[in-house]
Amino acid sequence: MCDKICQTIPDWTADYVGLPFKAGGRDRCGLDCWGLLVTVLREQFGNVIPAYDGISFEEGCDRAALATFMETHKTDWIDVPTGQEQPGDGILLRMMGHPIHVAVVVANGWMLHIEEGIDACLERYDGAKWRKRVMGFYRYQDPGPRHQVRGAGAAGATRGKLR
């Protein structure tokens, strides 16, 4: 079984597994789920996505405000039908009833993600733990020249949307 899994999972994922969680983290010293997605897509797929510094994916955050932020910031992403997702696509996941968690597809059925209390890890997004939480798959499309949005809260950011 390990041979089959090892052939499926790209070698580059080893560079990310075990990176520590840090609320609002945007570098390898500590990342939240958005920071991990931004880092992987930049380093492995050449996509430069706004980091949205100031947005924090952590226990105790205002989940409704974060869900609104996620919904509002989707225009630079296109929907990918389930079954057509590819490595480098983002996954929007529901946690505690809200769409507030993201991960990156690394292979068919496999995602790389991070959350508070769990360092970056590989898990099956089509397994029992996550499949009912998957809200959709999204592919980044570069909208052209843009600036990095820093410190943009739920109402302030207007670019780099997840859809």
How, if at all, do strands 90-95 and 98-107 pair? antiparallel
**What percentage of residues in the chain have a pLDDT greater than 90?**
55
For position 150, what pLDDT does the model report? Answer: 37
Q: Is a pLDDT exceeding 90 seen at residue 114?
A: yes
With cut-offs at 50, 70 and 90, classify the pLDDT of residue 111.
Answer: very high
The one-character DSSP state at 15 is: G
Q: Worst-scoring range by mean pLDDT, 83-92, 106-115, 150-159?
A: 150-159
Three-state DSSP state, 94: strand
Distance CA 12, CA 158 (A): 32
CATH fold label, 2-140: endopeptidase fold (from Nostoc punctiforme) (3.90.1720)
Q: What is the pLDDT of residues 42-57, one digit of tens each?
A: 999 999 887 777 666 5
Domain boundaries, the chain: 2-140
- Long-range CB contacts for residues 126-129, cutoff 8 Å, separation at least 24: none
Q: What is the pLDDT of residues 139-150, one digit of tens each?
A: 998 766 544 433
Q: Is a pLDDT exceeding 70 seen at residue 1?
A: no
